[in-house]
Amino acid sequence: MDPYKFRPSSAHNSPFFTTNSGAPVYNNNSSLTVGTRGPILLEDYHLVEKLANFDRERIPERVVHARGASAKGFFEVTHDISNLTCADFLRAPGVQTPVIVRFSTVIHERGSPETLRDPRGFAVKFYTREGNWDLVGNNFPVFFIRDGMKFPDMVHALKPNPKSHIQENWRIMDFFSHHPESLNMFAFLFDDIGIPLNYRHMEGSGVNTYMLVNKAGKAHYVKFHWKPTCGVKSLLEDEAIKVGGANHSHATQDLYDSIMAGNYPEWKLFIQTIDPDHEDRFDFDPLDVTKIWPEDILPLQPVGRMVLNKNPDNFFAENEQLAFCPSLIVPGIYYSDDKLLQTRIFSYSDTQRHRLGPNYLQLPVNCPKNAHHNNHHEGLMNFMHRDEEVNYFPSRFDPVRHAETYPIPPAICNGKRDRCIIGKENNFKQPGERYRSMTPDRQERFLCRFVDALSDPRVTHEIRSIWISYWTQYMQIRACFDA
């Protein structure tokens, strides 16, 4: 028997029960006792193993994006952008790359309803020939804050009160009253699109600014956008109450059932690009995640399409253990100096090591599909079979070499050490433009949602005044709030 022929897989199930070590179990119903009614013996290894595994079935829940659903499929290039990037999976139209996608709500727990007003996560893992690329984003193109230093405080404010474990508007309104940069995000969140109909009728955005680098080393800032071919649809409050009351997993079920029925969800991928030499031409900072890049001056460029045509084989293995990290990039795609992205580069990988262990990238759903080689080994939960004798570099006994050089952005960094804010804050223009673009009935619903949030008894007069001042600066809607 070749002991390495079979990796752990349900495809190789024994016809009878065994322990984890493969020993046969002749009775999976009764504990080993002293006599018929005597005490249970600690030597009942199968019982101890069974209970110990059960006790550990639940891994730590994600702090954010705990509630989610995943699906598998492919990404196909439809338009040539090889002038912008040397990424292999974008090399030419017709090239297909396997993907897995996870959609999620952000703030609430794993068992929470999918009808709550909340941003939605939209994360895509591309299994390319040059390693995995994770495009981790949301359904809105902007974010609440522009610097990751504020992220833990932001999440604490949005999460339930640590004393009562109840999410309360006074905490949210208090925190964000200190951060007018959040206005643009609230212009999306409190709009009608704040509760998507389901995951299939939802846009996606990479949110952060990345860089595309071509073979010559020329770099461009880039934003990524997903547009559903079936259109964007949302739920109003009364509809959300009805849907959520009937099925708190409606979005997960819709995604699963649609794929099972052959109604495969599809999105088109678009990009916006800016030459870094031209970044000072705008009244916003292109690296500020609280700002959109206006499509009238930076039009969307089509890149490809994504089709999800397969459900997970196992929810835990391909959803709960599915780990995304903005730090995972491939040649031809690089990080920008986007302050939020720079902090996410560390934070996401760090949280996966906490949740899943230091070897989380060995899990089948996370590991690259191309050949890979390094000297990271051992440690908790390492299950890669290795029989080499040389685990250092360089060595004359191991022919492994450096990969071919690929270009990265050549920008020169200089400046003094300091804790700075982005210069072009311009916090009010874009949310004002968005509000004024709404129809009157949509404006009224938007205002009602904000009035409801500000009506929390613990929202002070000072906090209400600050928010009314923010919205008044560009919207001239004081009378609506005062009413």
Please report, for residues 450, 466, 473, 477, 482, the alpha-carbon distance to residue 443 in angstroms, rounded to integers and kept in the order given. Answer: 11, 20, 16, 10, 15
Residue 144 near residue 176, CB atoms below 8 Å: yes
Strand partners, 136: 123
Other Cβ atoms within 10 Å of 449 Cβ, number? 18
* Catalytic residue check, 65: yes
Residue 215 near residue 209, CB atoms below 8 Å: no
| Residue 35, C-beta contacts closer than 8 angstroms, at least 6 positions apart | none
- Supply 394's token pair: 């360089």
| Catalytic hit among 46, 132, 138, 366 | 138
Please report, for residues 88, 130, 187, 376, 398, the alpha-carbon distance to residue 403 in angstroms, rounded to integers and kept in the order given. Answer: 14, 11, 46, 17, 15
Ordered alpha helix ranges (H), 379-460: 429-437, 440-454
| Catalytic hit among 65, 179, 220, 250 | 65
| Residue 49, C-beta contacts closer than 8 angstroms, at least 6 positions apart | 19, 20
Ordered alpha helix ranges (H), 317-405: 339-356
Alpha-carbon distance of 160 to 144, in angstroms, equals 18
Q: Is 474 known to sit in a ligand binding site?
A: no
Each as own residue / partner, the long-range contacts of residues 4-9 (CB below 8 Å, 24 or more positions apart, any chain) are: 4/385
Catalytic residues: 65, 138
As annotated, the binding site includes 348
As annotated, the binding site for heme includes 348
